[in-house]
Amino acid sequence: MSEVVSQFAIALDQVESYQFRVRLDKPHYPELMLDEPPPLGRDTAPSAGRMLAAAIGNCLSASFLFAARKNGLRIEGMHADVTVEIVRNQNRRFRVGRIEVRLDPALAEADREKARAAADTFEDFCTITASVRQGIHVDVAVKGLE
């Protein structure tokens, strides 16, 4: 088993229908709202799948910036496009089937060759993407039904 180096907890409360309020673990973080698209929810806020896409895109972008800076590069900006494909599994349940991420760092032409070293290593620094790729153990308990 891996050594735990930090831990955090968040809380979700149903507002109505499939809309949830997310309270993060630090008081200076704003609350977030999540909702499912129709036919379940009303699409008033991002879905969990969209938050997963944002988390992966953010982590990969930050990891590339980290690796680039370790290689002495200065990046003036970063853009990421994340595309998520939702598929049905063998039991006809929706699943995230594929996620495609395209990073567009604002690099000076002279730094492009140097950036290849960062491109070769940055994914290893991305906590979220590496964890999703490996599969994350999730324990689930329903209070009163354990």
Q: What digits encode the pLDDT tens for the residues 15-46?
A: 999 999 999 999 999 999 999 999 999 999 99
Q: Residue 100 corresponds to which tokens in the numbers above?
A: 């495609």
Query: What is the rounded average pLDDT for all residues in the chain?
Result: 93
What is the SS3 assignment for 58? Answer: helix
Strand 19-23 and strand 11-16: the pairing is antiparallel
Let me know: does 61 contact 103? Beta carbons within 8 Å.
yes
